[in-house]
Amino acid sequence: MTNKNIPFQSIDWTKVQKTEHMGETGIAYWQTTQFNGLRIRMVEYSKDYFANHWCEKGHIVQCLEGTFVSELKNGEKVTLTKGMTYVVSDEFSSHRSITKDGVKLLIIDGDFLKKNE
């Protein structure tokens, strides 16, 4: 793994622009900050959100508010509530998010989660 040096800085999420990403149902609102080899996002899924694809990217996902289900392609479903976290490396477990009542997440991904060959 290549070390990426990021100087100390704070992120004021109230000043980070939101982008909309349509799900199969519902909408995901992303606020994204990008660094060299690192992406940090504040993500909100609307009520009745159902992801429109299987994600193969690695993430660290912290549930800040609400409840959601992370469904794995093998059929397993994991429910995460406020205060819970999941971690997965790139190309390890295809997953998608589903929420009935909406959820707010902090999602971190980057080079450090790439699959080792």
Question: pTM of the entire structure?
Answer: 0.88
- What is the tens place of the pLDDT at every residue in 96-107? 999 999 999 999
Domain ranges of the chain: 19-113
Q: Note the CATH number of domain 19-113.
A: 2.60.120.10
Q: One digit per residue, pLDDT tens: the chain, 117 residues?
A: 455 678 898 999 999 999 999 999 999 999 999 988 889 999 999 999 999 999 888 889 999 999 999 999 899 999 999 999 999 887 778 899 999 999 999 999 987 767 666
Buried-state track 48-78, b at ≥16 Cβ within 10 A, e below 16 = ebbbeeebebbbbbbbeebebbbbeeeeeee
**DSSP state for residue 82 in the 8-state scheme:** T
- What is the tens place of the pLDDT at every residue in 58-75? 889 999 999 999 999 899
